[in-house]
Structure formats: C-alpha cells, structure tokens
C-alpha cells in the first residue's frame, strides 16, 4: 500500500495521444505555431504522440468552444491567441466563458503582423497603398479569418485609422485567404509573419508595413516600415499565442504540461523556426499559468474598448 501511495498521481501521463485543437485552418499562422510547438512539446512529455485538430470558423470561437467542452483529462489542449481576448467584446453569445472554462498553461510567443496586398495593386509603398485605398473606397475586399480573428482585429484597426470602410471576406484561416490574395481575388490582408514571411520572400504578394512599434530583425521583413512611422501613429498590434486546457484538468497534469511548455520554448529547432518567421518567444513570467491568465484578463480589458469604439459586432 505504501508503495502505491508513493506513486505521484497521473505519473503515467501522458500514456495516449494528445490532441491540440487549433481554431483555424491548416497551413495558417496559428497552425504553424502549433505544429512547431507540438514537435518541441513531444520530447519533454516522453516522446508523446501529439496530433493537431484544425477546427476553424467564426474567428476561432468554434475551436475554442470545442476545446472548452472536451474531457478535462489532459488529452485535449487548445493552442490559441489574442482572439481569446477580443472575442468577448465581439460575440454577445460566446459559447464559452474565457476566464472560467479553461486552465491557462502558459504563453508561448508574440507574432507581429504585416499589411499585404495582391501584386495586382499599383502601389509601391504604404503611402501609395493609402492613396489607392482612398480612391477605391467602397470597392476594396479585405480578407480575414472571421470576426474575432487577429486578422480581423488588425483589419478593423486599419480601417479605423485610415477612415476607409472595406468589404470583408472571411475564411476559416488566413492560409485559404492567402491563396485568394496571391491570385488577386481579394485586395488586402493584415496577417501574421508566421504566414506571410515565406510569401514575402517568394514575392507572391506585396508587403507595405509591419504592425509592431519597432521594425523587425528578420531579414525578409527588416526593410518594412512600421505603420506607426507610416502615419498611423500609435498603431501597435502583435499576436500572442498561449496553451490552454479545458477547466477541471487535474493540477498534476497541468503542472506537467506547464513544465513541458517551458522546456519546449527553449527547444533549438522551435526557437530557430519561430524566430526565422519574426516570432518572439516568451521568456518572462507569463510562461506560468497564473500570469498567463492574468495577462489574458488584462487583454480583455484592453481590447474591449478598441472594438466597441469600432462599433463592430459579430452577433
Ligand atoms: C487569425 O487570427 O487571423 C488567425 O490566426 C489566422 C490563422 O491562424 O489562420
């Protein structure tokens, strides 16, 4: 009996496949973070099998709801981002309670965004893009990943700063949106560098600016001015990503997952891949669950007024 009592609870965890729900389509920026991260998370979890479940739609709220409803046994997790903090202001009937229905397992990274257009647009810099947008008012198609997504938030702030309303075309993620931007079916998009860097390097789209306060070090992005220096004073958006589990997941398991997250964030392959795409790995107290939750609480407070000022609601 004594021996049994000595075995810590859930010592064998994980002993089956872990599913990480990604609330956007495969191939997009959130999916890229998730697949890189899952590879780095496997090792500290004893070479666990980790699979990605892309559950896109409604700006990430469908996937988040799916994870909130999952059995809290440590075998379903959620990798999500700033949408967790914007959706409460955008959805009157959010199918989950952001702060109560999840265990917060730690923040992972922060990803800058870039303003892009199809190559068909005759603009060579942000000033010329602004002029084109102003003279094509009412005919502009802006792509995003649904109301509440990071691309939606950035597009909303861009329209507000430019005082130009654009027609929004929503996708299950910015991977399918990027396909339509490259082909010219949509005109402009604001998306994360984990998705746009390779397209900018391949010259399949035009890039005009980054959404962060400081220019980026990534070679393919270093020449891009910030929106702040391009006339949109104070524009400052980057997309944090964090790991979550359904509320009620046992503490012994969430502690194990948090410890594994901290190891994963130092994994050389993970760091190299993410930093090559402009992402910044979190290396402060927000890698701990309580600070991750406190940070999201503050983000909800921060983005609520910005979104209400923009007067946009999903339903
Ligand atoms: C978004 O919020 O725009 C999503 O991150 C896009 C995606 O990951 O596909």
Confidence at 2, pLDDT banded by 50, 70, 90: low
Confidence at 240, pLDDT banded by 50, 70, 90: very high
Q: Is the pLDDT of residue 197 over 90?
A: yes
Q: What's the mean per-residue pLDDT of the chain? A: 95
Q: Is the pLDDT of residue 314 over 60?
A: no
Question: For tokens 């503050």, what's the residue?
Answer: 298
Confidence at 9, pLDDT banded by 50, 70, 90: confident
Q: Is residue 151 lining ligand 1, measured as CB closer than 6 Å?
A: yes
Q: Is residue 196 lining ligand 1, measured as CB closer than 6 Å?
A: no
Which pLDDT value is given to residue 10? 85
* Ligand 1 atom showing the smallest separation from residue 152 Cα: 3
Which pLDDT value is given to residue 115? 98
Q: Is residue 273 lining ligand 1, measured as CB closer than 6 Å?
A: no
The verdict on whether omega for the bond into residue 14 sits within 30 degrees of 0, i.e. cis, is: yes
Q: Is residue 109 lining ligand 1, measured as CB closer than 6 Å?
A: no
Two structure tokens written together for 38: 């899952």
Confidence at 83, pLDDT banded by 50, 70, 90: very high
What is the three-class DSSP state of 119? coil
Q: 10 Å Cβ neighbour count for 265?
A: 21
Confidence at 309, pLDDT banded by 50, 70, 90: confident
Which pLDDT value is given to residue 12? 92
Q: Is residue 150 lining ligand 1, measured as CB closer than 6 Å?
A: yes
**Closest Cα partner for 148 from 269, 63, 28, 216?**
63
Q: Is residue 149 lining ligand 1, measured as CB closer than 6 Å?
A: yes
CA distance 103 to 249: 7
Q: Is the pLDDT of residue 312 over 70?
A: no
* Ligand 1 atom showing the smallest separation from residue 145 Cα: 3
**Closest Cα partner for 265 from 111, 43, 108, 112?**
108
Which pLDDT value is given to residue 82? 98
Which pLDDT value is given to residue 5? 64
Angle between helices 268-276 and 29-42 (to 10 degrees): 170
Question: For tokens 């309303």, what's the residue?
Answer: 165
CA distance 185 to 120: 10
Q: Is the pLDDT of residue 233 over 70?
A: yes
CB burial class (10 A; 0-12, 13-18, 19+) of residue 164?
middle
Q: Is residue 83 lining ligand 1, measured as CB closer than 6 Å?
A: yes
Mean pLDDT of 73-94: 96
What is the three-class DSSP state of 238? strand
Two structure tokens written together for 173: 């993620």
* Cα 174 to middle of ligand 1, angstroms: 5
Q: Is residue 26 lining ligand 1, measured as CB closer than 6 Å?
A: no
* Cα 64 to middle of ligand 1, angstroms: 13
Q: The complex's ipTM? A: 0.96
pLDDT digits (tens, 9 = 90+) for 15-25: 999 999 999 99
* Cα 232 to middle of ligand 1, angstroms: 23
CB burial class (10 A; 0-12, 13-18, 19+) of residue 56?
buried
* Ligand 1 atom showing the smallest separation from residue 29 Cα: 8
Which pLDDT value is given to residue 306? 87
Q: Is residue 218 lining ligand 1, measured as CB closer than 6 Å?
A: no
Q: Which residues contact 193 (CB under 8 A, 6 or more apart)?
A: 29, 111, 112, 113, 114, 210, 216, 218, 221, 277, 278, 279
Q: Is residue 148 lining ligand 1, measured as CB closer than 6 Å?
A: no
Q: Which residues contact 222 (CB under 8 A, 6 or more apart)?
A: 215, 216
CA distance 101 to 65: 9
Q: Is the pLDDT of residue 315 over 50?
A: no
Q: Is residue 176 lining ligand 1, measured as CB closer than 6 Å?
A: no
Q: Is residue 25 lining ligand 1, measured as CB closer than 6 Å?
A: yes
pLDDT digits (tens, 9 = 90+) for 128-164: 999 999 999 999 999 999 999 999 999 999 999 999 9
Confidence at 8, pLDDT banded by 50, 70, 90: confident
Q: Is the pLDDT of residue 6 over 80?
A: no
Most ligand 1 atoms within 8 A of CB, residue of 171, 192, 238, 303 to mutate = 192
Percent of the chain residues past pLDDT 90, beyond the cut: 92
Give Cα 24 to chain centroid, integer Å.
9
pLDDT digits (tens, 9 = 90+) for 245-279: 999 999 999 999 999 999 999 999 999 999 999 99
**Closest Cα partner for 270 from 282, 259, 284, 258?**
282
Percent of the chain residues past pLDDT 70, beyond the cut: 97
CB environment 175-195: b (16+ within 10 A), e (fewer): bbbbebbbeeebbbbbbbbbb
Q: Whose CA is nearest to atom 8 of ligand 1?
A: 30
């Amino acid at each position: 009996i004594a021996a049994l009592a000595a075995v810590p609870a859930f010592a064998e965890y994980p002993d089956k496949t872990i599913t990480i729900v990604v609330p956007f389509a495969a191939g997009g920026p959130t999916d890229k973070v998730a697949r890189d991260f899952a590879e780095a998370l496997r090792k500290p979890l004893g070479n666990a099998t980790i699979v990605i479940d892309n559950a896109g739609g409604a700006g990430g709220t469908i996937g988040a709801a799916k994870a909130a409803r999952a059995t809290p046994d440590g075998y379903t997790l959620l990798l999500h981002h700033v949408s967790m903090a914007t959706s409460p202001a955008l959805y009157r009937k959010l199918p989950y309670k952001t702060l109560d229905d999840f265990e917060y397992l730690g923040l992972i990274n922060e990803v800058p965004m870039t303003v892009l257009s199809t190559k068909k647009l005759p603009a060579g810099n942000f000033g010329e893009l602004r002029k084109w947008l102003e003279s094509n008012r009412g005919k502009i198609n802006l792509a995003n990943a649904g109301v509440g997504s990071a691309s939606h938030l950035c597009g909303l702030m861009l329209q507000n700063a430019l005082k130009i309303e654009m027609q929004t075309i929503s996708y299950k993620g910015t991977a399918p949106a990027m396909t339509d931007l490259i082909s010219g079916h949509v005109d402009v998009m604001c998306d994360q560098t984990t998705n746009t860097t390779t397209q900018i390097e391949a010259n399949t789209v035009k890039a005009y600016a980054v959404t962060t306060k400081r220019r980026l070090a990534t070679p393919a992005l270093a020449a891009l001015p910030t929106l702040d220096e391009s006339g949109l004073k104070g524009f400052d958006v980057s997309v944090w990503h964090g790991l979550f589990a359904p509320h009620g997941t046992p503490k012994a398991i969430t502690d194990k997952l948090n410890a594994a997250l901290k190891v994963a964030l130092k994994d050389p392959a993970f760091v190299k891949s993410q930093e090559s795409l402009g992402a910044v790995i979190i290396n402060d107290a927000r890698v701990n669950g309580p600070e991750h939750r406190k940070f999201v609480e503050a983000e909800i407070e921060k983005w609520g007024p910005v979104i209400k000022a923009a007067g946009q609601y999903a339903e």
